[in-house]
């Protein structure tokens, strides 16, 4: 890979690593960002952490999110479904563009591994504004 491609790849990873309007008590760190064979898409693997009381804030993704709870638990709210408490060992799936939120209502840290299959050139997460 030539130096121009490395610079573009590094810039894309940096932009993807800084989600829009990240909430206090919640962090998302991109671990891997790879182009897919499907044109215009890339796969992003990230680790999210919530301190007690921390929440992601209601948001959407420009593609699918598939997650696995590594440690702790959180209240998971997704438009069109009843809220559910997920705990270590549970998985979840969010369809593209679906507003959702997660809140750590427990007493310990919650850690999640998430994979996003999203459109290139769009923010990884977009906050849902209240109307």
Q: Is the pTM of this model over 0.85?
A: no
The domain limits of the chain are 3-127
Query: Can you tell me the distance from the alpha carbon of 27 to that of 46, in angstroms, rounded to the nearest whole number?
Result: 10
Mean pLDDT by runs of 10 across the 131 residues of the chain is: 44 41 84 96 97 96 98 97 97 98 95 97 92 61
Strand order of the sheet with strand 91-94? Answer: 26-35, 41-50, 110-119, 63-71, 91-94
| Residue with the two structure tokens 């705990």 | 87
For 31, the 3-state DSSP assignment is: strand
Query: Can you tell me the distance from the alpha carbon of 13 to that of 115, in angstroms, rounded to the nearest whole number?
Result: 14
Please state which architecture CATH assigns to domain 3-127.
Sandwich (2.60)
Q: What's residue 131's pLDDT?
A: 61
Whether residue 102 contacts residue 75, with contact meaning beta carbons closer than 8 Å, is answered with yes
């Amino acid at each position: 890979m030539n130096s121009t491609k490395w610079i573009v790849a590094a810039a894309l990873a940096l932009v993807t690593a800084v989600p829009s309007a990240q909430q206090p008590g919640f962090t998302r760190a991109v671990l891997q960002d790879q182009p897919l064979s499907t044109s215009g898409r890339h796969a992003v693997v990230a680790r999210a952490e919530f301190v007690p009381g921390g929440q992601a804030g209601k948001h959407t993704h420009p593609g699918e999110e598939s997650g696995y709870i590594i440690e702790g638990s959180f209240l998971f709210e997704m438009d069109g479904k009843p809220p559910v408490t997920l705990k270590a060992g549970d998985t979840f799936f969010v369809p593209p563009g679906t507003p959702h939120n997660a809140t750590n209502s427990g007493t310990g840290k919650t850690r999640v591994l998430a994979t996003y299959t999203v459109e290139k050139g769009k923010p990884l997460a977009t906050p849902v504004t209240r109307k």
